[in-house]
Amino acid sequence: MATIRDMMPAFELFQPATVEDAVALLAEHGREAWALAGGLDSMDWFKDRIKRPRVVIDLGGIPDLTGIQERGEGLDIGAMTSLSAVAADERVRSRFQLLADAASQVATPQIRNQGTLGGNVSQDTRCWYYRSGWPCYRAGGNTCYASAPQAMNREHCILGASRCVAVNPSDTAPALVALDATMDVRNRRGTRTVAAEDYFVGPAIDITRMTALKPGDLLTSIRVPADWAGARFYFEKVRDRGSWDFALVTVAAAFRTAGGRIDQARVVVNGVAAYPVRLHDVERLVTGAPASEETAQAAGDLAVQGARPLKYNGYKLALMRNLVRRAVRSAA
């Protein structure tokens, strides 16, 4: 068990003014560097001394990483744009209410004012064994403490387990996957575009990471295309308390309907795996089907097929089933 302290270890702080300077610093210092966005998750790691970067690169002074720009009917959102700004922006609210709803339900107003969209989608898992410094698989060890018979695993995964059973904690992540967003990732070799669905990495791909970001990478912007602008959206987050808490299960969905039938659907759940799970089978089931109670019931039942709950999180099956049912029901 890690020893909790109230003093951060020493590090060298850089405050670049341009994206180019930030990328150069990340390339120079590699694994010893830590990119600081809103700092809310970072400070916890530093104060508990679980993460000890030699170099911290503060992104707060780079204006090009902040703001929301028009891109046709779509939007480009700088990775350092605050969650409050995303939730309040009229363009987001009028075209992509799903993202506004997700951003508005992150934690508390004070945290949303400081926290950034890029930080929210890139944060590490909240598994308390991992975050307390236990030598688990994700931390480079050889076991998963949360999956042991005597473990406390009420908040852990029911899908996608591969040695590690931690879950993705982001509220905005499932909304961005449902909206078919893309992420612009910059490094010294240039910029690559990553689909939101591929940005989040499960333990079967790399057990040490939650996202596609590697040392030297910097998430610069999130692009929301026009494809789902003005669609019928549904977002619901279930948590222990009405504010502050991370989600137990979340659903984000987008539908296009005509004549009482669902023409197109995107249904994504989070809090049930190490990455937001797009429910492709559910989407195929409801596409072309009437927006009816029978369709909603069938979608909820299909959503939980293959789920494998742990000792203390079986309740997530019912939560996930009912959230998917309510999302599909909303299309009517």
pLDDT in tens, 291-316: 999 999 999 999 999 999 999 999 99
Strands (E) across the chain are located at 12-14, 33-36, 55-58, 68-71, 74-78, 182-187, 190-195, 218-224, 232-238, 249-258, 261-270, 277-278
**What's the total number of domains in the chain?**
3
Same domain, residue pair 296 and 182: no
Assess if residue 130 is contained within a domain.
no
Q: DSSP class of residue 120?
A: H
Determine, yes or no, domain membership for 180: yes
Q: What is the pLDDT of residue 130?
A: 96
8 Å CB contact between 228 and 254: yes
- How many Cβ atoms sit within 10 Å of the Cβ of residue 292? 17
DSSP-based three-state secondary structure for 224: strand
Query: In this predicted structure, what is the pLDDT of residue 113?
Result: 98
Q: Around Cβ 108, how many Cβ atoms within 10 Å?
A: 10
Range of the domain at 188: 67-122+167-227
pLDDT at 72: 87
Q: Are residues 77 and 40 in the same domain?
A: no
Q: Domain of 99: which CATH number?
A: 3.30.465.10
Considering the domain boundaries, does residue 150 fall inside one?
no
Could you give the C-alpha distances from 251 to 17, 92, 234, 267, in angstroms and in order?
Answer: 37, 19, 8, 7
* Co-location of 221 and 252 in the same domain: no
| 250 plus 173 within the same structural domain | no
21 and 52 co-located in one domain: yes
Query: CATH code at 293?
Result: 3.30.390.50
Distance CA 261, CA 332 (A): 8
Show which of 227, 249, 278 is a domain's final residue. Answer: 227
For residue 217, the model assigns a pLDDT of: 98
Matching residue, tokens 């406390």: 152
Same domain, 202 and 252: no
Helix 315-330 / helix 293-303 crossing angle, nearest 10 deg = 150
What lies within 8 Å, CB to CB, of 44 at 6+ separation is 131
- Predicted TM-score (pTM) of the model is 0.96
195-250 confidence digits (pLDDT tens): 999 999 999 999 999 999 999 999 999 999 999 999 999 999 999 998 789 999 99
pLDDT of res. 6: 65
Sign of dihedral through CA atoms 241, 124, 304, 146? Answer: negative
Pull the structure tokens for residue 94: 């009028």
pLDDT by residue, tens only, the chain of 332 residues: 455 556 788 999 999 999 999 999 999 999 999 999 999 999 989 988 889 999 999 999 999 999 999 998 899 999 999 999 999 999 999 999 999 999 999 999 999 999 999 999 999 999 999 999 999 999 999 999 999 999 999 999 999 999 999 999 999 999 999 999 999 999 999 999 999 999 999 999 999 999 999 999 999 999 999 999 999 999 999 999 987 899 999 999 999 999 999 999 999 999 999 999 999 999 999 999 999 999 999 999 999 999 999 999 999 999 999 999 999 999 99
What CATH code is carried by the domain that includes residue 56? 3.30.43.10
* Tokens 């922006």 sit on residue: 89
Question: What is the C-alpha to C-alpha distance for residues 170 and 54, in angstroms, rounded to an integer?
Answer: 27
CA 323/CA 307 separation, integer angstroms: 15
Boundary of a domain, candidates 209, 227, 245: 227
Q: What per-residue confidence (pLDDT) applies to 49?
A: 85
Three-class SS state of 198: helix
Write down which residue in 227, 261, 277 finishes a domain.
227
Instruction: Indicate whether 291 and 317 sit together in one domain.
Output: yes
